[in-house]
A = this chain, B = another copy of it.
């Protein structure tokens, strides 16, 4: 835990850039994911990539009230994008969510549009730089809870 200046400066830079990145990502989702809102898009992604997740898990991860998630899921359910998996015997409390085929398709379309923006921003990057960047992002996301 050597707390030298260079390390602190690097951390500050990382945080600052991440705040910019996140603000722009939210704005981009607002612009490009219509008619999905940022939270709705995040719901589809989370459900699609978190097998076995329940509404309360989402609420904890998103830091939103359970009632908010419940209502959002009701909406997505009425749109035919999300559904409850049939009850299984070994299922614990709560109900397990999953995407419908339509949900997968809609999310894939939204992702493709936003990914094109990322592709454009990485236009001048070498293959190695892209791989290193992806690895660093993955390492950060997989890191210890803070």
Interface on A for B, CB 8 Å cutoff? 1, 4, 6-7, 10-15, 17-28, 30-31, 38, 42, 45-46, 61-64, 111, 114-125, 127, 129-134, 136-141, 143-146
Contacts and interface: CB of A to CB of B under 8 A. Distances in A.
A144 B121 contact: yes
**Interface on chain A toward B: helix, strand, loop, or mixed SS?**
helix
- How many protomers of this protein does the assembly include? 2
B117 A146 contact: yes
Nearest to A46: B23
Given A21-B140, A30-B64, 8 more contacts: A12-B115, A17-B134, A21-B22, A22-B25, A23-B62, A118-B146, A120-B145, A121-B143
Contacts of A63: 27-28, 30-31
Contacts of A124: 143-144
B136 A121 contact: no
A38 B67 CA distance: 19
B12 A127 contact: no
B146 A120 contact: yes
A144 B133 CA distance: 17
Contact of A17 (B7, B42, B119, B141): B141
Contacts of A28: 63
